[in-house]
Structure 1
């Protein structure tokens, strides 16, 4: 036999494949590990992939299986022979191994094509070697999660499919929809996927043996028959009850030399009456792939779609060269990639730019690897109790079984969150594609991204797309999301952020509550991957909401490090209680369209960005995150409760209008006010800073703050600083600097008012101050009126007026 194992980092995981490509299995594994690296962006370890090819196999199926298993065990032994171990918590290098790198004891493998039933064998070898992970070494064995039984990969990909359809205004849980598929009902991903909705109308499907056609399926009847096949051991489409097929339905062997399709089958597959070209089994597969349906569900193995610019050789899958089609030939509306490598990346991009809804396989089918990772980390968590004698292995196994659906829900939430993140980044890219261009440049500069190998556009290509109305496609944004996560997680692990007590909630949120209760706090504290879990969960939380370009944008604009940006964001997120708000938005989404939900989420992300910038500018970076949060929580609560009473001027009108607008879509008043009050979070933090500086009452400070804002028309100046700036990157940055100068001047004036107020009401002190600076105030208002009178004031004009506010603020002497 021959074998290979590729790893993306010292902490990495991925499957071991029994390859059927003896001539190029290394190329196959290299392609798979690249996908695995991107897929693993949502979990703790980086990606790895292994594979082997037996060189001599017997012809009899049973003997062939046993020989393949034996060669799999050879590969596993070879890997463990050179892998560091942990003995009593200390790293130990195997005998006769010369290691030039540091301690490297993390090695985890998973099932893949051909090795689904080999996990127990791998874990027996792990136990034989005394490997520290024991039966956490190979996930999915007898004492692990059976992915097919849980259906986790298909369920995760289905969450992505549901989002595509929801954005098109269709609920596939309650409305019938048409599908063609790659696979058969005996398969994990295809079979589970085709049982996700009872409204599924499966028109056609194929695997390596048969082609199935059901021109006009009755959803309940066909669902019941598919369910029967799924429960049958080693079923095929040949086992489908022909009496359950609609008129003209048929099951055809892939090897058929000539196929005579029924008129109903021809109509359902979109074959025109003028098309008289004879069909055989292979050409019929191409027809199925081109069918005019709503969903193409890939639950099989192979690369079936390439880009116009690619050759079959570029697809790297010779067995499927005869049936492969080009992306423009697709007539489906949505693609769900439950299987790996069904499309080339360039084909995904081309299909998406033509209007198709598609992510990447790494995003769609990440559920399997995510659940395996949870299994491994749960076993590591519970191992401490087994060692101490407080937990027996049978009790642990029973607990793992009880936790199945709890773990599955954690995984599915990641699928929902990532697919939502892509949708939000699509909207952001339309507003500012330069942020994503700069992200690509930054990742290339640090050698973390090879743009060409990932089929990402050059700067020139982006410029051409902008002219044609296209920016970045979903598949490209999927890649950038993954690489931004991988980059950020690496930076966090090189920092002290995962050790800050404020991040403890990410460790607690990773595990089901009952698992932590059974393991105990000590087991959580000493978890071998504690820091990695926190870093990965924090990365997912931040990037999924804020977007792939957020951290790089703030690093670029502020000069702060990624670690400092994340620390500031942690403060912003805690002060906003963003988790609770996200939960409320999710609860409200059934009442409103995705467009409205996305607007709320983008609004929340903008609030958090403004607040993050505020923290970076105003808070000493040496202070503990917990202390910063603690000193502001009570004051924020006071301001939120009375906000509608203290806000004034244009901001009051905006607040009332937005609350009313949200309530009109059927949302309750408390949620509306909470959501819109949050929009002013950075201003409320300004108010609290002024309160601490002057010793004034919180609400008096707020009234003075908004009175000054109203008097100097500051909302108009802030808004137009950005509105009149061109799309030029530097002019946008200049607008931000101008807005920050206005905020500083605003604070200085309010401090002066409150300091000089004495026993007077703040509004009286404001009036007195304005009188004392009457000349400056009159000059400012004259300039403001002139600029407002212009039909399209330029950036220079707004800048001049804004500078007058700063000049006035500097002229005030605080006594």
Structure 2
């Protein structure tokens, strides 16, 4: 008797599962299958299908069966999908199959309704694999897992998936190849992703070998016992490459090899607490061994790939910091991040870490998603990005490095990873620090500055206050005191923002006449400074605001607030006058352009976007398409001063063009460095105090209270950095034209050492430098800012390569990086600081460059052959023995109380003294001695001589000293300060005097008297002045002057020794000299005649000077 289909189903189910379970399953499924199913399939298929359906649930909505149907000769390969409640649309399935290298034109769908009314969908696809036969048993599990991951969005649906069947690779192994391809696209690799996919599909053996190489290098279970395996696999790949005929495919495969070999770490083999790997992949790359990367090349970068997001974190050095941003540039976000890292490098020249930058893009936001949905996705992807970074970052426990688990590391310990808020992540510091604590990361809540236990930059207004130090310095050069004088301001930003909002609250003398952001344009042609100030305060303190929040009744006649969505904005007579335009109406973008070009005192940028370029640049060169129609050229600006509170408001060439048209501007990284400076102080304090918390010497609450109590001290330290940088920028610009040859040589030197790339930093080429010199034009402030930053970076690097941070005296610079209350209470903890060497190096490099200028170290290297280490030591001694650091601060306190030119002359006198003294210590070789003892020896004796020397001067020298003292007193300096600064022209001689007295055990005071009186008697001061006043340019002329000055020092010391050796205690210095002259009458008369000839000569050259000094030495030797 023949059984019906349903009777067969019952028998088979009981036969397979037993009576009880088989009967239950039969009751559940006997009426579930539609008649079409019964027509299409035998009962054996139903039994298999029931097994798959039983695995389905709301938590597991998909099961797969991939099999051969031998009875179907035409289409033996089948894919069956079992779907919970609703079927996958065919339009979704077909691309997935195609990307797995399967084709189908035959789907048989069936709806199975269970006894509980639950619907199950079965889709049966007869598929064709075009690349030949498949060994189903070997690849079935790989295929099913890959298909499932693609379906659930855990693996991307692209052509790389063809490698599942083509190369028998798992979906995660394919993820590795996809990650490298995504990276290649971000670094400008010219081949498309589709072409890269096809290359690997065309060369499946090589694709498989690439994964074997990755596995051999990074699988912790393999690397320890198979050290030679990577080299063997690489050789196999290279041998196989010989058979690849396509040059393009050869290039792609070789680039994969480059990237795998450049991979220092990966989290691929890490398994989470849930027993699963992460749904993202992190790789750390040694960027500087990867060919053809865009410049500048980072030291390291971490690339994090996920189907939901991609991100990159670039670091210039091992100790580096910078923000993580949510980028909207999916196609080239690494280009954006690289540009920001480059800017961060120069900005961070003032702080301990160098520049870093990170960013990520979202890839899986549904169309028309709500703002809340998007924000939730941003936060989730930000968290995964942070985890991706920390997965492969070293930790520190009990002063020991802890390597990340299940990670093979091809680099040295590298535990410093610090992030910061940025565009789109401004409020995420607590999120990042929460993950840091989740990983038990050594930095704890110092991982991300700010947040609930950090410094609130907006509340402190620190970035804007720092920018105003630059603004004030610019106006100082215009003899305008912005704290007393009203200035007209145009701005980029709105009052809700940190930088713009705080910037416009700096004082009550700001007349904000126009501003704009991405929503509105604000115009107030003639505001009342005080009334408008308080209205800005009100808006700033609102929870949310825009320019529409401004009380329209307080806007002056003819002004208003206008939406940028308007087609046209009518211009009132007052607006026309303010903007100096004739148009009766302007489109919003044209009105913004008019605001940017307005003839105001100050243009203050506190917004986002690039609004000024050079006329030589195209809009495409700028890389900010959203503002192309608002942008103007640097030579079109009519403001007197620019303050760059925001980043990237100008292109560098735009700044230079504006500066060449007599505009006063630095750069964004100079003006707005206070934010990153403040964050760095916070991180360094937290590292210090967290160590105390761990030692139970400080509770967490007391640590937090202490940090809060230090807010003002930290702000003072930060703002002094801004003040110092703004000052040295102005002093450098003041003498830029005169120093053009020096700067040209310095640029070439930095380039030759590979420290600086002129093209990347937009510095002038040789032709332009020559043209500017001929025209009497020097480097502009923006260009000098680049040199300033790279000088600090280079000097800091050299210090870190030396033993300077270990020097007991120089090590005291560690204290200057911390608030005074910390110095007193936590001296021991400071000495154990994890970043002690870096902090000392930073303080030293900033101090020497801010006090002595951009080219100080370079000049001394060229002039003396000394190393950076030797120059730093010599400078430290020279500045300490005279106490010039505090004196410079004193002079700075007289801003707007004394004329700027007089102030700069005072600072020049001090710098000249330190320059001469540093050279002196280098020449005399004393710097190898203990610095503390050396400083003590000279300091005590200089204090004795400082009072004496003014009284030892005579004739022209004395008159000059008195005139300078009187000039400085008239300028407003106290008598004591004026006298001290004026004396610095001569106090340098004290070094020679101390040297002579010490070596020969002479009385110091009498030696000083003889030194000055003998110099006066044989007219050496005139001789020195002739050498100093020679203005001939060129390297050899400079060396000639310096050599002559050194020879003169040697001669005058020898002369003093010769006279003092004849010392009769009863003779005064003057009588002693006269006796010496009488004893050496013939030689002295010869010298006197030579001087007379020099005096009467119309043109004195170096040959005459060298002959004269030779005669002087002959005179001295003859007397001995």
Q: Give the TM-score of the pair, scaled to structure 2.
A: 0.71
* CA positional deviation for 1:542: 0.8
- State the match for 1:532 in structure 2: 838
Q: Report Cα offsets for 1:616-656 as digits up to 9, x if no partner.
A: 11133421111211112221111112222223344333222
**Inter-partner Cα distance in structure 1 for 2:1030 and 2:712:** 52
Residue 371 (1) aligns with residue 678 (2):
yes
Question: Which of residues 354, 368, 393 is equivalent to 2:661?
Answer: 354
- State the match for 2:348 in structure 1: 40
Residue 795 (1) aligns with residue 1102 (2):
yes
* CA positional deviation for 1:531: 1.1
**Inter-partner Cα distance in structure 1 for 2:927 and 2:848:** 19
Contact 1:341 1:361 in 2 (8 A): yes
Contact 2:882 2:942 in 1 (8 A): no
- State the match for 1:6 in structure 2: 314
Secondary structure of the corresponding residue to residue 679 of structure 1: helix
Residue 157 (1) aligns with residue 464 (2):
no
- State the match for 1:542 in structure 2: 848
- State the match for 1:23 in structure 2: 331
- State the match for 1:178 in structure 2: 488
Query: Aligned runs of 1:269-284 on 2, under 5 Å?
Result: 269-272=579-582, 275=583, 278-284=585-591
Secondary structure of the corresponding residue to residue 161 of structure 1: helix
Question: Which of residues 594, 600, 622 is equivalent to 1:287?
Answer: 594
**Inter-partner Cα distance in structure 2 for 1:218 and 1:796:** 67
Query: Aligned runs of 1:76-225 on 2, under 5 Å?
Result: 76-225=386-535
Question: Which of residues 561, 567, 592 is equivalent to 1:251?
Answer: 561
* CA positional deviation for 1:434: 2.2
- State the match for 2:640 in structure 1: 333
- State the match for 1:775 in structure 2: 1082
- State the match for 1:755 in structure 2: 1061
Q: Which range moved further: 96-105 or 474-483?
A: 96-105
Q: Report Cα offsets for 1:222-255 as digits up to 9, x if no partner.
A: 1111111111122011111111111111111111
Contact 2:333 2:361 in 1 (8 A): yes
**Inter-partner Cα distance in structure 1 for 2:473 and 2:738:** 22
- State the match for 2:863 in structure 1: 557
Secondary structure of the corresponding residue to residue 707 of structure 1: helix
**Inter-partner Cα distance in structure 1 for 2:640 and 2:393:** 47
Contact 2:1051 2:1109 in 1 (8 A): no
Secondary structure of the corresponding residue to residue 893 of structure 2: helix
- State the match for 1:658 in structure 2: 964
Q: Which range moved further: 425-434 or 315-324?
A: 425-434
Contact 1:181 1:298 in 2 (8 A): yes
* CA positional deviation for 1:739: 1.3
Q: Which range moved further: 804-813 or 443-452?
A: 804-813
* CA positional deviation for 1:376: 0.3
* CA positional deviation for 1:580: 1.9
- State the match for 1:410 in structure 2: 717
**Inter-partner Cα distance in structure 2 for 1:224 and 1:634:** 55
* CA positional deviation for 1:694: 2.6
* CA positional deviation for 1:754: 0.6
Residues 161 and 589 (structure 1), Cα distance of their counterparts in 2 relative to 1, 3 Å cut? closer
* CA positional deviation for 1:182: 0.6
* CA positional deviation for 1:740: 0.8
- State the match for 1:431 in structure 2: 738
Aligned residues, how many? 809
**Inter-partner Cα distance in structure 2 for 1:419 and 1:621:** 31
Contact 1:746 1:809 in 2 (8 A): no
* CA positional deviation for 1:679: 2.6
Residue 734 (1) aligns with residue 1040 (2):
yes
**Inter-partner Cα distance in structure 2 for 1:390 and 1:582:** 39
Q: Report Cα offsets for 1:55-102 as digits up to 9, x if no partner.
A: 123521222212111111111000001111112111122122222221
* CA positional deviation for 1:41: 0.2
Q: Which range moved further: 582-591 or 499-508?
A: 582-591
Contact 2:899 2:971 in 1 (8 A): no
Query: Aligned runs of 1:401-480 on 2, under 5 Å?
Result: 401-480=708-787
Q: Report Cα offsets for 1:520-542 as digits up to 9, x if no partner.
A: 22211100011111111111111
Residue segments in structure 2 that go unaligned for 5+ positions in a row: 1-308
Contact 1:85 1:93 in 2 (8 A): yes
Q: Which range moved further: 771-780 or 605-614?
A: 771-780
* CA positional deviation for 1:777: 1.3
Residues 722 and 677 (structure 1), Cα distance of their counterparts in 2 relative to 1, 3 Å cut? closer
Contact 1:13 1:108 in 2 (8 A): yes
Contact 1:720 1:798 in 2 (8 A): no
Secondary structure of the corresponding residue to residue 757 of structure 1: coil
Secondary structure of the corresponding residue to residue 442 of structure 2: coil
Contact 1:647 1:702 in 2 (8 A): no
- The structure in which a higher percent of residues are helix is 1
Question: Which of residues 676, 680, 689 is equivalent to 1:382?
Answer: 689
**Inter-partner Cα distance in structure 1 for 2:347 and 2:864:** 31
Question: Which of residues 605, 612, 621 is equivalent to 2:918?
Answer: 612
**Inter-partner Cα distance in structure 1 for 2:472 and 2:965:** 29
**Inter-partner Cα distance in structure 2 for 1:676 and 1:629:** 23
Contact 2:739 2:778 in 1 (8 A): no
Q: Which range moved further: 435-444 or 65-74?
A: 435-444
Secondary structure of the corresponding residue to residue 323 of structure 1: coil
Query: Aligned runs of 1:469-548 on 2, under 5 Å?
Result: 469-518=776-825, 520-548=826-854
**Inter-partner Cα distance in structure 1 for 2:777 and 2:897:** 31
Secondary structure of the corresponding residue to residue 504 of structure 1: helix
* CA positional deviation for 1:171: 1.1
**Inter-partner Cα distance in structure 1 for 2:580 and 2:612:** 18
Q: Give the TM-score of the pair, scaled to structure 1.
A: 0.97
Q: Which range moved further: 285-294 or 352-361?
A: 285-294
- State the match for 1:625 in structure 2: 931
Q: Which range moved further: 680-689 or 599-608?
A: 680-689
Q: Which range moved further: 175-184 or 781-790?
A: 781-790
Question: Which of residues 1036, 1044, 1050 is equivalent to 1:744?
Answer: 1050
Secondary structure of the corresponding residue to residue 591 of structure 1: coil
Q: Which range moved further: 753-762 or 397-406?
A: 753-762
Q: Which range moved further: 555-564 or 623-632?
A: 623-632
* CA positional deviation for 1:725: 5.2
Contact 2:430 2:448 in 1 (8 A): yes
Q: Report Cα offsets for 1:364-388 as digits up to 9, x if no partner.
A: 0000000000000000111122012
- State the match for 2:1022 in structure 1: 716
Q: Report Cα offsets for 1:775-811 as digits up to 9, x if no partner.
A: 2211111121122123343333333323321222233
- State the match for 1:601 in structure 2: 907
Q: Which range moved further: 765-774 or 702-711?
A: 765-774
Contact 2:1010 2:1073 in 1 (8 A): yes
Contact 1:298 1:339 in 2 (8 A): yes
* CA positional deviation for 1:758: 2.9
Residue segments in structure 1 that go unaligned for 5+ positions in a row: none
Residues 428 and 725 (structure 1), Cα distance of their counterparts in 2 relative to 1, 3 Å cut? closer
**Inter-partner Cα distance in structure 1 for 2:987 and 2:752:** 35
Query: Aligned runs of 1:60-75 on 2, under 5 Å?
Result: 60-75=370-385
Q: Report Cα offsets for 1:708-752 as digits up to 9, x if no partner.
A: 111121111112123335112211211110111111011111101
Contact 2:314 2:358 in 1 (8 A): yes
**Inter-partner Cα distance in structure 1 for 2:1030 and 2:629:** 56
Secondary structure of the corresponding residue to residue 359 of structure 2: strand
Please, what is the CA RMSD of the aligned residues? 1.4
